[in-house]
Amino acid sequence: MGIFIPHEALSNLKNYKYQSDDRSLVTKYVLKPFWLKFVKIFPLSMAPNAVTLSGLGFVIVNLITTLYYDPYLDTPSPRWTYFTYAFGLFMYQTFDACDGAHARRTGQSGPLGELFDHCVDAVNTTLCLIVFGSVTQTGCGFILLLSQFGTLANFYLSTWEEYHTHVLYLSEISGPVEGILIIIAMHLATGIFGSTIWTTPLFQLDLGWLTQGNVGFTATHAYTFIGAAGLYFNIHSARRNVNNAFKNNKAKLNEATKGLIPFFAYYTSIVVLLVTNPAILDNTIPLVISIGLTIAFSVGRIITAHLTIQAFPMINPPMFIPTVQLISIPVLTHVFGYDYQKVLTALGWGGLGLTVGIHSMFVTEIIYEITTYLDIYALTIKHPKTA
C-alpha cells in the first residue's frame, strides 16, 4: 500500500541496529538476572512478538476486571482485584522485558520486533492508567486526564528522543522499570489497606487565601506532585540527550524541537474542547482511550520513520479529531437542532471509533509491509534459527 512506508524506504530496514542505554540499577542487579531465567519458560517455537502480545493480555484482563467492578473509577473493588492488578502488571513488565531476550534466543531480532514492542507499550500506557485510576479512586475527571497527559508526554518525548539520537535511553529512574514497580507497590498497598488510603486526608492545608476553608491533602495529591516531578526530570533528560546529539548543529536542534509541536498542539485542542464543553467528561473512558490510541498511532509512526529513515511525521490525522469535534458541536446543536448531551455522547464514541479505525489501518499496513519485505511472519516463526 505504501501509505506509511514508501516502497523505496523499505530497503532501509536492512540497516536496522537496535541501541539502548539502560542506566537503571534495579534492572542491572535485580530484574535482569530474573528475566534471563524467566525467559527460558518460552518455547523456542514461540515468536517473540507473541510473547509481547501475551504480556498485553494480562493488562487487558486487568482492564476488564476494572470496568466490571468500577466503571466510573470511584468505587472500591473487592480487595483481591488489587492483588490481581499487581500480578498482571508485573507479568506484563516481565513479558515485555523478555521478548528481546527471546528474540535473540530464537534468532528473530529485527525492526518489526522493536516496532511491535513500542506500539504495544503505547497502548498499554493508557489501559494501565484506567486501572490505576480505579485503584486510587480518581474518578473519570480532570485528575485522570492530567495523569494521562503526564504518562503520554513521557512516552512521546522518549520516542522523539530515540528518533533523533538513535538510542533508547532508560534513565536511573524510568517509567518502564521503577515507575511500573512503584505502581505495583501501590496496587499491593491498596489490596492490604483498602482504596481509602488514597482519599483520606493526610493533613489539612490552609488555603483560605485561595479557596474557602482548609483543603485536605491526600495521597492522591502526593503522587500527583511526585509524578509531575518525575515528568519534569524525564523531559529534561530527553531534551539534554537530543541537545548532545546536535550540540554542533543548532539548525538541526531547532528542527528536531519542532517535532514536539504536534503533541502539545494536540493537547491544546483537547484542553479547549474540555473547557468549552465540560459535560464531555460524562463520557471520559472513550475520550481517554481515544487520546491513548492517538498518541500510540503517533509514536508508532515516529518509530516507523526511525526504522525506515524517513522524515519526522509532523501530521497525524487522529490528532485533528478534537478540533473536528469542537467545530461539530455548535453545528449539530445550533444548526441542526440535535440534543447537546446526545451530540457529546455521539462525538465521544465516534471519535473513539475513528481513532480505532485509523490505528488498525496503520498496524495492519505496517505488519504487512515489513513481513512481506523481510519474508517473516509477525506472530509465528517462519525461518527457525539453525544450530
User: What is the band of 359 on the pLDDT scale with cuts at 50, 70, 90?
Assistant: very high
Q: What is the pLDDT of residue 215?
A: 63
Q: Average the pLDDT over 185-194 and give the result.
A: 94
* Catalytic residue (one of 102, 118, 306, 359): 118
Q: Is the predicted pLDDT of residue 207 greater than 60, yes or no? A: no
Q: What is the pLDDT of residue 208?
A: 56
- pLDDT tens digits, 134-146: 999 988 888 899 8
- pLDDT tens digits, 94-117: 999 999 999 999 999 999 999 999
Q: Where are the chain's structural domains?
A: 7-202+218-374
- pLDDT tens digits, 155-187: 999 999 999 999 888 777 777 888 899 999 999
Q: Give the global pTM.
A: 0.93
Q: What is the pLDDT of residue 28?
A: 87
- pLDDT tens digits, 54-71: 999 999 999 999 999 999
Placement of cell 444548526 in the chain: 335
CATH superfamily to which 7-202+218-374 belongs: CDP-alcohol phosphotransferase transmembrane (TM) domain (1.20.120.1760)
- Please indicate whether residue 383 is annotated as part of the active site: no
